[in-house]
Structure 1
Amino acid sequence: MSGFFVPHDLKAPVKGAAQGPLAGLNAAVKDLYAIEGERTGGGNPDWLAQAPVAKQHAAAVQKLLAAGTTIIGKTITDEFFYSVTGINAHYGTPPNLRAPGRIPGGSSSGSAAATAAGACDFALGSDTGGSVRVPASFCGLYGIRTSHGRVDAMGTMDMAPTFDTVGWFAASAGVFRAVGRVLLDDRKVSAPIDSLLLPDDAFAQADGPVAALLRDALATMSGALPHPQAINIAPDGFEAWRDAVRIIQANEIWQAYGRFITEKKPKFGPGVAERMQIASKVTKAEADASRQVQATAREHIRGKIKPGTVMALPSAPCIAPRIDTTQDELESFRVRVMRLTCIAGLSGLPQISVPIGTVSGCPVGLSFIGWAGGDEALLDLAVAVAKYCGLQRA
């Protein structure tokens, strides 16, 4: 299966334990996770060239192997994970077989595309600003951004630690949930789902046909959900929230890679180069002000999404853009995406994307945000609503 995996891929699959809850399943891993004996490239050949050989597996990879998973390969990612398009100027764009001629979404593009193509049973990604949720939507998959800090991130490359989370993709709800039982830590917060919020302001960010499909899907799966309550989640609009995420991300990615970029002057593809230049100019005062916005938003959002409550919203505002979309149009797309993805990012809450149908032949995902520590409830919800979706088996 070419096109999903990095040129410096594993020489051979890494076999997992003979027995375990994930025995017999194959997984691909985003080139952000350390694999013993391999270099981690982060989507950039110049970084790869100076990266040390990993002495041990990343914590998430080790847990999967211990549970019986076989790791079959390392997947393509956007450079330094600084995009939601899935386009890599060095390694190419992983093909989205569910929407040919369109982007897979990023930065976990290779992991999503490989899963959608059936090259693996599930795949590890990561989600900072939408990097699992968006490609899950575009590739017709189940995907999760976990509660911030609930999965051990040891052995992963940073993007922006304030928002970085481990996530994964699966084509079936059953496998999707099974992976969570292996990776999630013991800080589970149990509660029956007895409240459903529908944020009109979030649905307003989506294209008309996408929003209509999502609302129809919610009506169809009403038997698996509480009666919905309409709200506006962002009382002053999404721009201040989106901007806070953008500035904090930029500040933290420059802290992580600024010295390398200044000294080694790596080659970047379009879009990433410009964002790195902007990141280099973010001041401490700007970052501090954005952290105040984050703190206020976090308190507000968590006040709405308490144990027992979930919020439904579009995973992405549109279907996957065409691969030949211009850079200016892709930047506009990125802004639209972040208005939706900033909610879980600022609050640190878990979010799943469930495949529920198509618009113009392209997959569309419906998201549910849950309470802190409510990841398991969301995974169970994915299984419960799967029979209503018409696309995926449980």
Structure 2
Amino acid sequence: MSIQDRVGAFCPHGDIRIEGKPGGPLSGLTFAAKDLFDVAGHVTGAGNPDWLATHAPASATASAVQKLLDAGASLAGKVITDELAYSLSGVNMHYGTPVNAAAPDRLPGGSSSGSAAAVAAGLVDTALGTDTGGSVRVPANNCGLYGIRTTHGRVAKDGLVPLADSFDTVGWFARDAAMLARVGEALLGPRERIPHGRILIASDCFALADPAARAALEPALQQAIKAVGPRHYLTINPDGFPAWQTAFRLIQGHEAWTTHGDWITRTQPKMAPEIMERFVAGSKVTAEELARANAVRVRVRKRIAAVLQPGDVLCLPTSSGPAAQKTISKEAENAYRMAMLQLTCTAGLAGLPQVTLPLAKLDGAPVGLSLAALPGSDWLLLELAERLAG
């Protein structure tokens, strides 16, 4: 397994290569793992040199990694993540920004930046990522890939550096829908036949996308309508997305600080200022703010349960448009992130699976269409992705 990393996706620390089990269903395939997943005998770096320096080698391999190895896929190495997974940009001030092979002048998206970059550049067949607030969906959108955020809790998270446990999920990337599903057979188990019902088009989500992006996605949307069946347009969020996004951000910040606050206080790590600011903000979330945010989360779940029936598919844009240019200012990047969270927060708050399909382009850069469904409907989405890729 010799890889020429021409896009800067792989971690500079460690050289982890493990051959998969011979004769497995994924034999002959290669994968990369985001540097949040443990591999026995190696230190997990979490995108930050001070984390790397203050943690011992893992005593066991994360079960998501092990399942792929047991299925025959070979691990080609660890790939870069945004620091502690707390960013959607794909920029890492310590290790660099992996190149987006689909749009080299644009950001790859994060926090699973190296995972997406490695797959988009053809360095590996698939790559493991994580998704808390969009960290698989956004890079898949930006890099022109198929990607899945699984139902919360569907894929085990042992051996994974957490960010916000009640939102954290395991996901993966592929260049085609068939590969996305093959990996699903290893991580989710055998295919499940889930009859599809209606396609619900989230008009308020499409309203958050740039007009040019909506126009670019229209043929893909019509293709999805044709594949799924009866269509219905609806407003998914009667509260307005700023309310949902704020609730998500408060809960995520509180959980992130609860998880990593002691280490940050003790170590005083060198960290990108905008990421440190998010941790500090999380430390200041009050009990009252957290209670209100959790009440919003309850309302979100009730709303989703009220409008989605088993087999229904919710259709929305993955992002407001193509990836941001590399030259974007920090202020504009933060505004971009906050706007992005309005589109990604629904799946997080409701624990939904969501697949991203690279079915459109705008100004030469990819734009993704997303399908989401009720928790546990992962195979429904993977099989619809295969049908749409047709």
TM, length-normalised to structure 1 = 0.95
Preserved CA contact (<8 Å) 1:297 1:346: yes
Comparing 346-355 with 283-292, greater Cα deviation is found at: 283-292
1:185-200 to structure 2, matched below 5 A, reads 190-200=193-203
Q: Matched residues in 1 for 2:218 and 2:306: separation? A: 24
Q: 2:370 aligns with which of 367, 371, 384?
A: 367
Q: CA deviation at 1:292?
A: 1.2
Query: How far has the Cα of 1:227 moved from its partner?
Result: 2.7
Give the partner amino acid of 1:220.
Q
- Report the Cα distance in structure 1 between the residues aligned to 2:203 and 2:14, rounded to whole angstroms: 44
User: Does the CA contact (< 8 Å) of 2:254 and 2:285 recur in 1?
Assistant: yes
- The residue number in structure 1 matching 2:234 is 231
Other-structure match for 1:391: none
Alpha carbons of structure 1 residues 185 and 51: separation in structure 2 relative to 1, 3 Å: farther
Partner of 2:145: 141
CA distances 1:328-351 after superposition (whole Å, capped 9, x unpaired): 101110111111101111110100
RMSD after superposition: 1.3
Partner of 1:59: 63
CA–CA separation in structure 1 for the residues paired with 2:82 and 2:29: 26
Q: Deviations over 1:131-170 (max 9, x none)?
A: 0001001000000000000001111011000100000000
Correspondence list, 1:173-322, <5 A: 173-184=177-188, 190-322=193-325
Question: Equivalent of 2:26, from 2, 17, 22?
Answer: 22
Residue aligning to 1:9 = 14
Instruction: Choose from 50, 53, 56 the match for 2:54.
Output: 50
Asked if the contact 1:189–1:373 (Cα under 8 Å) also holds between the matched residues in 2, the reply is no
3-state DSSP of counterpart to 2:158: coil
Segments of 5+ residues of structure 1 without an aligned counterpart are: 388-394
The answer to whether the 8 A contact 2:194-2:379 is kept is: no
2:312 and 2:132 map into 1 onto residues whose CA distance is 23
Residue 110 of structure 2: aligned partner: 106
How much does 1:216 deviate?
Answer: 2.1
- Mapped to 2, the partners of 1:335 and 1:306 lie a distance apart of 30
Matched, 1:328 2:331: yes
1:356 is the counterpart of 2:351? no
* Cα-to-partner distance string for 1:23-42 (whole Å, 9 max, x where unaligned): 11000000000011110111
Preserved CA contact (<8 Å) 2:256 2:282: yes
Q: 1:47 Cα deviation (Å)?
A: 0.6
The residue matched to 2:258 in structure 1 has which SS? helix
Distance 1:373 1:327 in 2: 37
The amino acid of 1:127's aligned partner reads D
Identify which of 378, 384, 390 aligns with 2:387: 384
Q: 1:112-133 CA distances to partner (integer Å, 9 max, x unpaired)? A: 0110000000000000000000
Question: Does the Cα contact within 8 Å between 2:223 and 2:388 map onto a contact in 1?
Answer: no
Comparing 304-313 and 132-141, the one that deviates more: 304-313
Query: Displacement of 1:220 after TM fit?
Result: 3.4
CA contact (8 A) 1:137 1:365 kept: yes
Contact 1:189–1:307, Cα closer than 8 Å, also in 2: no
Runs of 4+ in 1 over 4 A off after TM superposition: none
Is the 8 Å Cα contact of residues 43 and 56 (structure 2) preserved in structure 1? yes
Look up the SS of the partner of 1:271 in the other structure.
helix
d(CA) in 2 for partners of 1:179, 1:346: 25
Cα distance in 2, alignment partners of residues 194 and 279 from structure 1? 40
**Number of residue pairs aligned between Structure 1 and Structure 2:** 385
**Contact 1:10 1:38 (8 Å CA) reproduced:** no
Q: Within 1, Cα distance between the matches of 2:346 and 2:317?
A: 12
1:302 touches 1:347 (CA, 8 Å); kept in 2?
no
2: distance between equivalents of 1:335 and 1:185?
35
Instruction: Give the aligned residue type for 1:68.
Output: G
Q: 1:118-133 maps to which residues of 2 (within 5 A)? A: 118-133=122-137
* Superposed displacement of residue 190, structure 1: 4.9
Letter in 1 for 2:123: A
